[in-house]
């Protein structure tokens, strides 16, 4: 499972930030790692210098043999946005893979 972290020009993509984000994604999606080829995280600050709930994380996962699936979350910090978006993705993948398994049983 390849993990890519992209930032816009309002978020400094430091090595420490990228490592933290990769760790959150890897840990959260680890149980699906054999069914996923790539995970892309897109981080942005929707209102730049103004404060507020403006850190956005878009998570795009490419399951093997399926179309990509995407979740989005906003929070007051990048880490919270990533954790929430990964949590949403886990639920989406559970549903997606669950439907595939149910379809094979019938």
The string of DSSP letters for 47-66 reads TTTS-SS-EEEEEEEEETTS
The full set of domains in the chain, from first to last, is 2-105 (3.30.160.100)
Residue 104 has pLDDT above 70, yes or no: no
**Hey, is 61 helix, strand or coil?**
strand
Count of residues in the chain: 106
- What pLDDT score was predicted for residue 82? 97
Q: What is the average pLDDT score of the chain?
A: 91
* Mean pLDDT, residues 12-18: 91
Residue-wise pLDDT for 63-102, tens only, equals 999 999 999 999 999 999 999 999 999 999 999 988 777 7
């Amino acid at each position: 499972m390849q993990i890519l972290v992209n930032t816009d020009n309002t978020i400094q993509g430091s090595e420490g930030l990228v490592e933290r984000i990769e760790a959150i994604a890897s840990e959260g999606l680890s149980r699906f790692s054999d069914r996923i080829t790539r995970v892309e995280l897109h981080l942005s600050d929707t209102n730049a210098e103004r404060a507020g709930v403006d850190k956005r994380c878009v998570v795009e996962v490419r399951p093997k043999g399926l179309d990509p699936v995407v979740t989005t979350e906003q929070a007051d910090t990048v880490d919270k946005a990533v954790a929430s978006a990964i949590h949403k993705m886990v639920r989406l993948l559970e549903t997606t893979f669950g439907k595939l398994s149910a379809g094979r049983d019938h």
